[in-house]
């Protein structure tokens, strides 16, 4: 099973440019335009994973215009510090500088120009699996 996030943007073309420059996403497939000629659907790839995006129309308000986050994405990358530097240099709003977490990831948080929150992380240590005593249920 895979899950593909579908993000809504007021400016899909602007999102394509920013996500490529700041986070390393690549365009994937054919972007589609509406009757007005503006992009209203596109897909991007980071490694083997996809995101899709679209513009639902003029009544849509992105998180930045709403004044609050509506979701966040958590993406695993190979080198979180290098990824952070790329995002910072590209002008991403940094929500959280890279830091080690108690659950064994090193992560940072950034926001794109329309207010979507992105957290990029890498595993820094594996947690040992606790063995169950004989007859113990997994519930």
Q: What is the 3-state secondary structure (H, E, C) of 20-43?
A: HHHHCCEEEEEEEECCCCCEEEEE
Q: With pLDDT > 90 as the criterion, what percentage of the chain qualifies? A: 78
- Under the banding of pLDDT at 50, 70 and 90, the label for residue 111 is very high
Number of Cβ within 10 Å of residue 135's Cβ equals: 5
Structural domains of the chain, with CATH? 6-56+70-123 (3.10.180.10)
Model confidence at 136: pLDDT above 90: no
* pLDDT beyond 80 at 129: no
Mean pLDDT in residue range 82-100: 97
Does residue 133 register a pLDDT over 60? no
Asked if 64 contacts 114 with a C-beta cutoff of 8 angstroms, the reply is yes
Say what the pTM is. 0.84
- Tokens linked to 35: 């009757």
> What's the pLDDT tens digit per position in 15-39?
999 999 999 999 999 999 988 888 9
Cα 89 to Cα 48: distance, rounded to the nearest angstrom: 24
């Amino acid at each position: 099973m895979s899950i593909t996030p579908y993000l809504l943007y007021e400016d899909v073309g602007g999102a394509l440019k920013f996500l490529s420059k700041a986070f390393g996403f690549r365009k994937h497939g054919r972007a589609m335009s509406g009757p007005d000629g503006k992009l209203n659907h596109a897909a991007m790839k980071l490694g083997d994973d996809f995101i899709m995006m679209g513009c639902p129309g003029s009544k849509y308000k992105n998180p930045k215009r709403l004044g609050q986050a509506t979701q966040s994405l958590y993406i695993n990358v190979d080198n979180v510090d290098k990824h952070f530097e790329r995002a910072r240099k590209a002008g991403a709003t940094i929500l959280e500088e890279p830091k080690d977490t108690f659950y064994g990831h090193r992560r940072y948080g950034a926001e794109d120009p329309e207010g979507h929150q992105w957290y990029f992380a890498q595993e820094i240590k594996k947690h040992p699996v606790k063995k169950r005593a004989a007859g113990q249920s997994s519930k």
